[in-house]
Amino acid sequence: MDEPDTEPPLVVVPGADPSARQLCFAWGPAEVLVCETLFDRAGGSRSRCWHCYPLLTGSVAGTGQGAPSSSQVFVVRRDQDIYIQTLRKLFNESHGIFMGLQRSEEELAGKSRKAQLVQVSKNYRSVIRACMEDMHEAAVATQDPALQGQYSTQVSILSAMELIWNLCEILFVEAATAGPLLLRLLDWVRLHVCDVDSMVREVLSSESPSKHKLFWNVVDVFVLQGRMDEARHLLSKEASANPTSMNMYKILDDLMKKMPVPSVGNTQTLTELELKWQHWHEECQRYLQDGTFASNPHMESICKILLGDEDAILEKKELMTTWYHFLVTRLLYSHPTVKPMELRFYAQSSMDLFLGGESSPEPLDLILMAAFEFEIHQVIKECSIVLSNWWFVAHLTDLLDHCKLLQSHNLYFGSNMREFLLLEYASGLFSHHSLWQLGVDYFDHCPEYGRVYLELHIERIPLSTEQKALKVLRICEQRQMHEQVRSICKIMAMKALRNNRLGSALSWSIRAKDAAFATLISDRFLKDYCERGCFSDLDLIDNLGPSMLLSDRLTFLGKYREFHRLYGEKRFPEAARLLLTLMTAHIAPCSFWMTLLTDALPLLEQKEVIFSAEQTYELMRCLEDLTAGNPDKQKFQDDDVETTKVEMLRLALARNLARVIVKEGTVEGS
Amino acid sequence: AMEDVSAKFVSQKISRTRWRPLPAAALQPPDLFATGSWDNEDNRVSIWSAGDLGNAGLNGEYHGEPHLLCDIQHNGDVMDMQFLDQERIVVASSTGTVTIFRHHQNNQTLSANHRWEKAHYHVDQDTSCGGAACTGVVCNNPEIVTVGEDGRINLFRADQRDAVRTIDNADSSTLHAVTFLRTTEILTVNSIGQLKIWDLRQQRNEPSQIFSLAGDRVPLHCVDRHPNQQHIVATGGQDGMLSIWDIRQGTMPVSLLNAHEAEMWEVHFHPSDPDHLFTCSEDGSLWHWDTSTNVSEKPSFLHQGGRSTAYLSHSTINQSVVSAWLSNDPTKDRMEITNLIPNQTLSVNSLDVLGPCLVYGTDAEAIYVNRQLFA
């Protein structure tokens, strides 16, 4: 079981004063709300009257008499880097790489799979580098010193991230073997120790480089980094300026030229290399011992470096600037065929020698050391503690997991480390007003808890426009998150209803197949109709199509409107039949029967007889059911208007019955 | 080919991309485009240069990635935008406001030139509460038509303070997009699968014609009209379906073509080469629909690696007509369609085509310019 072995970092909330007042807080998904309470520090408050005020007050509060005007709610965010504008490029571009990696084919065998993973790793690094450049440009461009400081900090954090990532790529992803390993480490040092570049430029651009006071420093830098061709080129300038020591130069130049180096192409075996190297080493040794370079301390020191003399190399500490440069130089000249598992010994001793007890290792040193020791989990743990974002550890861990390097490690809190870190990172994205969309795909690739996290987070996305709601809805629908789909549609339907947009409200509830809500909206339509005597939103109601079947009330609404349309088109018999069916088939709610019967009045009064005898009887039964079965019987008797209506209906029905009997009798008789 | 596409990550989700129109008789390809962002705390309207023409190669192509010329803060999400002329852009906001921005080319700045606050709004029974998102805008200088979530249609003139004409409650559902059919007629699409024609000369507040999808009323999100044959209209729906309508006859689409797997956000006929049509979608794809040549004699430029190419047969209902978009001869009439963005995961919200150039913007906060569409 892992126990945290460092104190959690202290977060200072600017503006809050915990020494004066007690703070209270509430956890959010990726944020903490903190606010000052009205309790003072001592607990026993002298101003007791304040206790009756609500403890949580927003920043706008403070209207109450005793409430302090400073009452504020602070949002404390965990993943702060998420909010840095320039880093959004990192988040977005790496999202694409991440998705590519998840899609990539695991079936690819051995070498091609490794090449693929190395390429992915390089892509991640190039995004970090691009971001670093942008940040650097921004730092140069800005006038604001505070902002400049911020950018510079970010540049150094990004550069440290890239340094660590690159080392992990060499050791874990590519898993370079003895020989190529050294070449990779040399590239790594050359890429990241760039403090000397300006010095090199200054010397090379001077009128006569060999006279420049930094000339030998530059030669040394080249030698320390194993850049032999460049070193020899510089030395040749010195040689032509100093013909007297020509011989000495020629010998040194020859030694440097002959130095055997591991080759990438596997043309020689390690044993061959070691033999050659041994031979070359002895040759250097001979020249040093017979005092060939004794007259020139610079060249003598270079020869010592070639021999891997630790003291001679350490003398150039200033030029190497870091212990890991020292390590790689040392390996180059003493153990060029170092095996991965031997690295830890050289790394530890190099750090000890380099720091020499004068300073203690920084977090970055410890992370690199853990990498050299192949303690992958330690690397990730240290990075999680030190870095101010989850981006780095989440993506690195995912990549290492794809390299099948993390499979044995399960955390005591449920999921594995990869998933845990991805969840943290994605939660950070979801707390951002704009980056939340990226978070979805990360949750998708967390098999254990991703779904639950997504469900919890997606409901908290503010649905400011229909367009945004549609995007959120699409995410939920694609993942069969029925509960969330319903909830989103309901929220949108509710909003539309509040804005009196019945049509929109209805289409949202149709989308969610929310029958109850469709009924509610249909009732609103019917109520509007009863009040105004005409339908609103005909374009919608006339085009309900199959969605009409979603709820009984909606069906009624559609059918009732159809009745009006038939009536309007003077298709009376059809209209009459429909009207009757609405009641007899109990499609219409009872509360609406009176309206329907009233609608029958003009049909009863037509010159033509429309309702058949049978239909008329049914109408009469409906009317009697309504007046008899209505619990508000009183209402009918008290309300004059209603009574008159019922009387008029009875009369009209009776007259229609009379007419229809005559008519039907006549027709049958003839 | 993919190599002709340059991308730029812009740290804001892009909702709209629009080429600046070319002056009449211009020979160069378009060089400037505008973008709008959405879902940011601080949304922006930006003007970009498509790349450097000067030091370019032999045939006057552009090189390098797009670079920002100027931008301006915009209140609310940019829902839609359209160039009014060479200098002015009309922008529709989620706050309901419609703004004309002017691009000052001499000093590369943008400024708000005119603003109709809450051109779209909801009215509660008692109080007026907030604006309603303006979802679509279309210009025919000096006329500007806007539609919104409030189902309202506004007709503005760039030089007049008040709306020339407003149709309240023109639609009971959300209007998603609008385009001109003729100078006085507009087309709208809504969230219950209807395509409507409105004649702005008539005082009636009713559409002159309603077309609708059969079956499920799938919402329509975008609409474009064939530039030469005005009776041919293309719309895109929530299910990603491309519908081709012949508005001279029937009330249903002539053909339904399926390529996208989610909302189709925009559809555009190529303005000068309308045998080509482009659509983009929430599913992260951008399809090029090509009816220009017979498949058998097709040059091979669309068959390059990495792209998925498919042939679709029209499921046509109607006969007649010269246009390939409406014809239904199954032997001759095959359409070649190509996804121009394989492997994109986040939504392509907007696209615009002009001359040989395509520009599109995504929720992955990137803009892409393809300068050799027909290479």
Domain membership flag for residue A164: no
User: Is the same domain home to A203 and A329?
Assistant: yes
Interface A-B, measured as beta-carbon pairs within 8 A, has a size of 137
Question: Across the interface, which of A434, A538, A543 has its CB nearest the CB of B217?
Answer: A543
Domain membership flag for residue A77: no
Total number of domains in chain A: 5
* % residues pLDDT > 70 (chain A): 88
Neighbour count for residue B345 (Cβ, 10 Å): 20
The yes-or-no verdict on residue A489 having pLDDT over 90 is yes
A246-304 per-position pLDDT tens digit: 888 899 999 999 998 887 766 678 888 889 999 999 999 999 998 888 888 999 999 99
Domain membership flag for residue A113: no
Question: Across the interface, which of A441, A504, A543 has its CB nearest the CB of B345?
Answer: A441
Alpha carbon dihedral A394, A399, A403, A406, in 10-degree steps, equals 0
Interface of B with A in 122-141 (CB under 8 A): 122-125, 129, 132-133, 135
Angle of helix A110-141 relative to helix A391-402, nearest 10 degrees, comes to 170
Chain B residue with minimum CA distance to A438: B364
Measuring CA to CA, which residue among B274, B215, B284, B273 is closest to residue B244? B274
Chain A interface disruption, residue of B42, B173, B349, most A CBs within 10 A: B173
Neighbour count for residue B110 (Cβ, 10 Å): 21
Dist. CA A626–CA A613, nearest whole Å:
20
Domain membership flag for residue A68: no
Angle of helix A323-334 relative to helix A297-306, nearest 10 degrees, comes to 80
Q: Which amino acid belongs to residue A262? A: P
Tokens of A328: 């790689």
Model pLDDT, residue A40: 67
Predicted confidence band at A78 (pLDDT cuts at 50, 70, 90)? low
CB B132 within 8 A of CB B96: yes
Chain A residues inside the 8 Å CB shell of B122: 499-501
Q: Which amino acid belongs to residue A142? A: T
Yes or no, beta carbons of A86 and B129 under 8 Å apart: no
User: Is the same domain home to A228 and A329?
Assistant: yes
| Domain, as residue range, for A510 | 465-569
Domain membership flag for residue A353: no
Boundary-marking domain end, from A462, A478, A503: A462
Measuring CA to CA, which residue among A383, A317, A387 is closest to residue A350? A317
Model pLDDT, residue B280: 97
Reported ipTM exceeds the 0.85 cut? yes
Bigger pLDDT: A194 or A170? A170
User: Is the same domain home to A619 and A562?
Assistant: no
Dist. CA B215–CA B196, nearest whole Å:
18
Neighbour count for residue B308 (Cβ, 10 Å): 11
User: Is the same domain home to A230 and A329?
Assistant: yes
User: Is the same domain home to A273 and A295?
Assistant: yes
Model pLDDT, residue A409: 57
Model pLDDT, residue B317: 36
Chain B residues inside the 8 Å CB shell of A470: 238, 263, 282
A201-236 per-position pLDDT tens digit: 888 888 887 888 888 999 999 999 999 998 998 888
Domain membership flag for residue A290: yes
Average confidence score pLDDT of chain A = 84
Yes or no, beta carbons of B79 and A465 under 8 Å apart: yes
Q: Which amino acid belongs to residue A638? A: D
Neighbour count for residue A664 (Cβ, 10 Å): 14
Q: What is the mean pLDDT of each run of 10 residues along chain B (375 residues)?
A: 76 96 84 95 94 53 79 96 96 96 95 93 64 94 94 94 91 94 94 92 90 84 94 94 91 87 96 93 94 53 39 39 62 73 89 94 94 82
The yes-or-no verdict on residue A513 having pLDDT over 80 is yes
Model pLDDT, residue B314: 43
Model pLDDT, residue A41: 62
User: Is the same domain home to A450 and A498?
Assistant: no
Dist. CA A88–CA A191, nearest whole Å:
25
A483 Cβ partners below 8 Å, 6+ apart?
A455
The yes-or-no verdict on residue A389 having pLDDT over 80 is yes
Q: Which of A79-88, A439-448, A581-590 has the lowest mean pLDDT?
A: A79-88
The yes-or-no verdict on residue A341 having pLDDT over 80 is yes
State the pairing for strand pair B255-258/B264-269. Answer: unpaired
Yes or no, beta carbons of A503 and B151 under 8 Å apart: yes
Distance between A474 CA and the closest CA of chain B, angstroms: 8
CB B319 within 8 A of CB B328: yes
Bigger pLDDT: A414 or A569? A569
Question: Across the interface, which of A99, A434, A545 has its CB nearest the CB of B345?
Answer: A99
Chain A residues inside the 8 Å CB shell of B172: 501-504, 536-540
Dist. CA B234–CA B230, nearest whole Å:
11
A446-467 per-position pLDDT tens digit: 999 999 999 999 998 999 999 9
The yes-or-no verdict on residue A159 having pLDDT over 50 is yes
Q: What are phi and psi of B309, to 5 degrees?
A: -120, 140
Q: Which amino acid belongs to residue B60? A: G
User: Is the same domain home to A512 and A616?
Assistant: no
Distance between A4 CA and the closest CA of chain B, angstroms: 35
User: Is the same domain home to A332 and A204?
Assistant: yes
Predicted confidence band at A368 (pLDDT cuts at 50, 70, 90)? very high
Alpha carbon A353 to its chain's center = 43
Domain membership flag for residue A21: yes
Q: Which residue ranges form the domains of chain B, and what is each CATH number?
A: 5-293+321-370 (2.130.10.10)
Dist. CA A366–CA B312, nearest whole Å:
60
Chain B residues inside the 8 Å CB shell of A467: 38, 77, 79, 94, 133, 135
Q: Is the peptide bond before B142 cis (omega within 30 degrees of 0)?
A: yes
Dist. CA A262–CA B155, nearest whole Å:
76
CB A307 within 8 A of CB A284: yes
User: Is the same domain home to A596 and A540?
Assistant: no
User: Is the same domain home to A277 and A302?
Assistant: yes
Model pLDDT, residue B1: 46
B117 Cβ partners below 8 Å, 6+ apart?
B96, B97, B131
Bigger pLDDT: A477 or A25? A477
Boundary-marking domain end, from A307, A338, A369: A338
User: Is the same domain home to A437 and A494?
Assistant: no
A75 Cβ partners below 8 Å, 6+ apart?
A31, A32, A33, A34
Question: Across the interface, which of B39, B172, B194 has its CB nearest the CB of A502?
Answer: B172
A77 Cβ partners below 8 Å, 6+ apart?
A30, A31, A83, A431
Distance between A422 CA and the closest CA of chain B, angstroms: 18
CB B120 within 8 A of CB B132: yes
CB B289 within 8 A of CB B279: yes
Model pLDDT, residue A512: 85
User: Is the same domain home to A431 and A300?
Assistant: no
Dist. CA A14–CA A498, nearest whole Å:
40
Q: Which residues of chain A have a Cβ shorter than 8 Å from any chain B Cβ?
A: 85-86, 88-89, 92-93, 95-96, 99-100, 103, 433-434, 437-438, 441, 464-468, 470-471, 474, 478, 498-504, 507, 510, 536-540, 543-547
Average pLDDT over residues A657-662: 86
Model pLDDT, residue B111: 96
Q: Which of A336-345, A428-437, A523-532 has the lowest mean pLDDT?
A: A523-532
Model pLDDT, residue B331: 46
Q: What are phi and psi of B44, to 5 degrees?
A: -140, 150
Domain membership flag for residue A518: yes
Chain A residue with minimum CA distance to B39: A434
The yes-or-no verdict on residue A79 having pLDDT over 80 is no
